[in-house]
Structure 1
Amino acid sequence: MSNKINKVNWELIEEYKKKEDFMCIWNAYGLPEVTDPTHTAYATSDVDVQPRWKTWDKIPISTTITGAFYSKRVNPNHPQTPEEIYQSAREVCQAGAPIVHIHVRDKDGYSVLDPKLFHSVIDPLRKEFPKTVFDGCMVPFQAGEWAKMIECLQDGLLDVTPINTVAAYCGDTLFCKPPHVMIEKTRIVQEYGVKPQIAVYSDGDIDNADRYLIKTGLLDKPYHWIILPTLPGGSPMQSPHAMVTGFIHLYDQIMAIDPDSQIMVCAAGRASSHLATLAAMMGCAIRVGMEDTVWKWPHKNEKITNNAEHFKTMKQLVSLLGREVATSNEYRRSIGLPEK
């Protein structure tokens, strides 16, 4: 016998043993069905007890190739030269990715706004994969890059580009988009027929976008958001609980602004593929690849070895959720771009 304190009234249990058979109380009022998951016997046949969820059946997946954050020091597999970036992007396109996110690096490995480098990567890809959606960050960090950004937009290099409504320490770097910069960039991007993607790292960024871009009437509908939490300086998601509650908080803020918003979520930081899976469950588009994380899984140190492989893994996860990867034209329709 255990030494723990026993507070059960065993005398009462013994009394009931003498009075009646021990059995469950059971009255099946809906016979011959014990449980009908679709209807109830007490209503007409058109009452659906458990209707199908109203959510996206097709999930757009964007694959990032290199980004601006990481180097080969943290992940030796990281594409860095223009040739490596092109080859990795081509592998991703061949694997069936409908959206490819492009950055280019200079000879020292820094992300730059260089129209010639962008053309060297994107032009042959567009020729071979004419329906693929190409997007990329047009972030002018250095003097003279604003004009280069406009040149890239004029040349039709991109279909989509993020507008970062952020002021944060991204790692050890202060990353701030002043209001006049984000406003003017949004105007120019839309003028050249490129879809602005509102890029937010935390809930304050969502409010910035609402104040400067949406309430001013500048941004065209449908609003297209991209959430980049879990990066250092973004909304922290250090555990499954933090990931779920943090994501739902960001999701609800966006939907409160406009319930028709189209949301893409990055497999970023430590949350990585688990966050992307949660986002796919919610019917959001997802972004995977080497720009936003170096890790395959939040709870392991195993690193991404190949962008195409990472895309295929997330495609399989989407399939296991009963969804399909959206085509490039299905994605275009959802964000208000003309089909190709």
Structure 2
Amino acid sequence: MATDKVNWAYIEELKKQEEFKCIWMPYGLPEITDPVGTKYGIGIDVQPAWNIPRKIAVSTTITGSFYSKRTNPNHPITPEEIYQSAREACLAGAPIVHIHVRDKDGYNTLDPELFHRVIDPLRKEFPQTVFDGCMVPMQNGEWDKMIDCLKSGLLDVTPINTVATYCGDSLFCKPPHVMIEKTRLCQEFGVKPQIAVYCDGDIDNANRYLIKTGLLQKPYHFIILANLPGGSPMPNQKAMVESLMHMNNRIMEIDDQAVTMVCAAGRASSYLATFAALLGLHIRVGMEDTVWKWPHRNEKIANNAEHFKSFQQLLGYLGRDVATPNEYRKMIGLPEKK
């Protein structure tokens, strides 16, 4: 070969001088390679177990406010479809179910009657399940509807979006006074505020307005919604890793005991949730945050129960167990249910 610059003559000369073999001096006998300790130290654990919690909280989102049947024909839109999909997820063992409801035109609404229609029968059938619902007042009059839902005991958890962004082609901005008052109301009514962040700027917003002011009670509970249009972009695997690491590190700088959940969002979808699980974080799966099963293929999510079960199986391979509803309540500072 023209590019072969090996000195083969020298190699041949060495063959005459010595037997070709590895240099091997097993100082650690009788162990060849000790994965636990070393002969040169006493009580040294050379490969300690990683600090990853065994239990992982998994939230299943049923519909959200973003997507329609045009982007995913399987998407539940009507109250009946949302209820049925949520029930299937509960029957599959989902410990946390995240609820939105839609109006007759398919748009997100805070109508308390629709929330009761979906959640009340679920609570009766699945009394231990944690119900998490999105209370984002967008229209005139919805602030009072939000308060009615929070006061009624419908929800255990609700997000506080500390965000100002173009979510897709829509401007989505929650002013500081709205973040602050909603957080106060949630804590007053016993609903856990879940701080929803789309990028690192949102983390700073939460820190400035809710944490440094002393309003938000510990344990802090964050949910990362990166990779939605207008959030922290993840156009490929490297960007996904860098972006999630960056956002999680910023949260850990605020409080290294924060309970952080990561959504299987956008094109990153299942890969993002898997990476979050590898990092020891908690995850949110389901139809609210993405239409795709995988980043590199175009198959759509068929139903929420199936999506939850696929992650439950994956987490088992990773040696992590899905937390029970009460284990999740304990993580985030809510009273356990008997």
TM-score by structure 2 length? 0.98
Residue correspondences, number: 337
- 1:67, 1:193 → 2: CA distance? 23
Alignment partner of 1:62: what SS? strand
Please point out which of 12, 21, 25 is paired with 1:14: 12
**Structure 1 position 22, deviation (Å):** 1.3
**Structure 1 position 273, deviation (Å):** 0.6
1:65 corresponding residue in structure 2: 62
2:153 corresponding residue in structure 1: 156
Which whole-Å deviations, capped at 9, do the CAs of 1:98-135 have from their partners, x for residues lacking one?
Answer: 00000000000000010000000000000000010000
Alignment partner of 1:299: what SS? coil
**Structure 1 position 10, deviation (Å):** 2.4
1:295 corresponding residue in structure 2: 292
- 2:98, 2:54 → 1: CA distance? 23
Which whole-Å deviations, capped at 9, do the CAs of 1:233-264 have from their partners, x for residues lacking one?
Answer: 11111111111111111111110110000000
Please point out which of 71, 86, 98 is paired with 1:101: 98
2:179 corresponding residue in structure 1: 182
**Structure 1 position 158, deviation (Å):** 0.4
**2:245 is the counterpart of 1:245:** no
Q: Which residue identity lines up with residue 30 of structure 2 in the other structure?
A: P
**Structure 1 position 11, deviation (Å):** 3.0
1:35 corresponding residue in structure 2: 33
Q: Which residue identity lines up with residue 30 of structure 1 in the other structure?
A: G
TM-score by structure 1 length? 0.98
Q: CA RMSD in A?
A: 0.8
- For structure 1, list consecutive stretches of 5 or more residues without a partner in the other structure: none
Q: Which residue identity lines up with residue 247 of structure 2 in the other structure?
A: L
**Structure 1 position 13, deviation (Å):** 2.1
Alignment partner of 1:185: what SS? helix
**Structure 1 position 332, deviation (Å):** 0.4
- 1:132-171 to 2 correspondence within 5 Å? 132-171=129-168
Q: Identical aligned pairs, as a percentage?
A: 73
Alignment partner of 1:297: what SS? coil
Alignment partner of 1:271: what SS? helix
**Structure 1 position 17, deviation (Å):** 2.0
**Structure 1 position 196, deviation (Å):** 0.4
Alignment partner of 1:63: what SS? strand
- 2:326, 2:279 → 1: CA distance? 21
- 1:25, 1:247 → 2: CA distance? 43
Q: Which residue identity lines up with residue 135 of structure 1 in the other structure?
A: D
2:24 corresponding residue in structure 1: 26
Which whole-Å deviations, capped at 9, do the CAs of 1:165-213 have from their partners, x for residues lacking one?
Answer: 0100000000001111101111111110110000000111111111111
Please point out which of 118, 122, 126 is paired with 1:121: 118
1:332 corresponding residue in structure 2: 329
